[in-house]
Amino acid sequence: MSLWLQLEQAEAGESRALSEVLDAIPWNADGLIATIAQQHDSGEVLMLAWVNRTALEQTLTSGRVCYWSRSRQQLWRKGETSGNPQHLLEARLDCDGDAILFKVEQQGPACHTGRANCFYNAIRNERVCVIGAAQ
Amino acid sequence: MSLWLQLEQAEAGESRALSEVLDAIPWNADGLIATIAQQHDSGEVLMLAWVNRTALEQTLTSGRVCYWSRSRQQLWRKGETSGNPQHLLEARLDCDGDAILFKVEQQGPACHTGRANCFYNAIRNERVCVIGAAQ
């Protein structure tokens, strides 16, 4: 039985070693899984990005979120250049292990545009409306 | 200038035609973008799935969330077999158009395991701990 099926059938409170779980993650062809960053207290969804195993391990070890930049093809320690880091409160894998949710304390805006989050293009009445002002 | 850069520099309240925006989405090699479903009032992140253009258009037209199932390679009208649909309140594209946030009213549990959401594997102290009970 796959690890994910074991976890699916587990009772609340059961656990597995992290290394065993990381070995079982179905990383995609580029070695990545999708990652959601959410502000831990307000629930605001800040952004969607990607991690490889190294980025995830660095995030867990340091407590500061590190992604894999697909455009730059390198580790992206969020905030290192922007000054707007994400401090990790908790990481949670989903039921089939191909997505992860980071609950974070976002310092400053999350989006490179200066907006609080990246999801500022709202689809309304056959239009896409910008709902957050650039800074 | 790309549409995404135009939207990035737009003031709040500016808008574009939906069809123009859909044409500009950088669909991946499989014609998909990542999709986050979030309970609209509580802020709970329910799941991460994928949409192609057809699934997204069906979602917007019907008001009921439709994904693309990568495992079954077919449209996945959430709730059609499980009885736990997602009613769309608003869809929002991110800054570079390769991720979308669905704000939904989730009817019943979102996860196929019967848990309220899919993110029940919490990483804590070098362990992965199941924090939601199966039903």
Give the model confidence (pLDDT) of A102-128 as tens digits: 999 999 999 999 999 999 999 999 999
Share of chain A above pLDDT 90, in %: 96
pLDDT tens digits, B31-78: 999 999 999 999 999 999 999 999 999 999 999 999 999 999 999 999
Give the chain A residue whose CA is nearest to the CA of B34: A34
Contacts of A43 in chain B (CB under 8 A): 38, 42-45
Cα–Cα distance between B4 and B35 in angstroms, integer? 18
Mean pLDDT, residues A30-57 taken together:
98
**Is ipTM strictly over 0.90?**
yes
pLDDT at A133 over 90: no
Give me chain B's average pLDDT, please.
96
A14 lies within 8 A of chain B by CB: yes
For B97, the token pair is 């158009």
Count of other CB atoms within 10 angstroms of residue B92: 24
Residue B122 β-bridge partners: A92, B129
pLDDT at B134 over 90: no
Q: Inspect the interface and report whether the beta carbons of A93 and B128 lie closer than 8 Å.
A: yes
Q: For residue B135, name the pLDDT band (cuts at 50, 70, 90).
A: low
For A99, the token pair is 């997505």
DSSP-assigned letter for residue B2: -
pLDDT tens digits, A4-25: 999 999 999 999 999 999 999 9
Tell me, what's the pLDDT at A135? 62
Mean pLDDT, residues A51-57 taken together:
98
Q: What are phi and psi of A129, to 5 degrees?
A: -110, 130
Residue B45 β-bridge partners: B38
Q: What does DSSP say about strands B45-51 and B86-93: parallel, antiparallel, or unpaired?
A: unpaired
pLDDT tens digits, B81-128: 999 999 999 999 999 999 999 999 999 999 999 999 999 999 999 999
Strands (E), chain B: 15-17, 33-39, 45-51, 66-69, 74-77, 86-93, 99-106, 121-124, 127-130
For A55, the token pair is 């980025």
What's the sign of the alpha-carbon dihedral A60, A20, A71, B70? negative
For A31, the token pair is 């070695």
Half-sphere exposure of A31 (CA within 13 A, CB side): 12
B113 lies within 8 A of chain A by CB: yes
Burial call A2-34: b when 16+ CB within 10 Å, e when fewer: ebbeebbebeeeebbebeebbebbeeeeeebbb
Q: Taking a C-beta distance cutoff of 8 angstroms, is the pair B111, B117 a contact?
A: yes
Q: Inspect the interface and report whether the beta carbons of A101 and B8 lie closer than 8 Å.
A: no
Q: What is the DSSP string of A46-93?
A: EEEEEE-HHHHHHHHHHSB-EEEETTTTEEEETTTTTS--EEEEEEEE
Contacts of A132 in chain B (CB under 8 A): 12
pTM value is: 0.97
Q: Inspect the interface and report whether the beta carbons of A14 and B91 lie closer than 8 Å.
A: no
Q: Inspect the interface and report whether the beta carbons of B119 and A43 lie closer than 8 Å.
A: no
Cα–Cα distance between A48 and B69 in angstroms, integer? 19
Q: Inspect the interface and report whether the beta carbons of A122 and B44 lie closer than 8 Å.
A: no
Share of chain A above pLDDT 70, in %: 99
pLDDT at A82 over 80: yes
Mean pLDDT, residues A49-56 taken together:
98
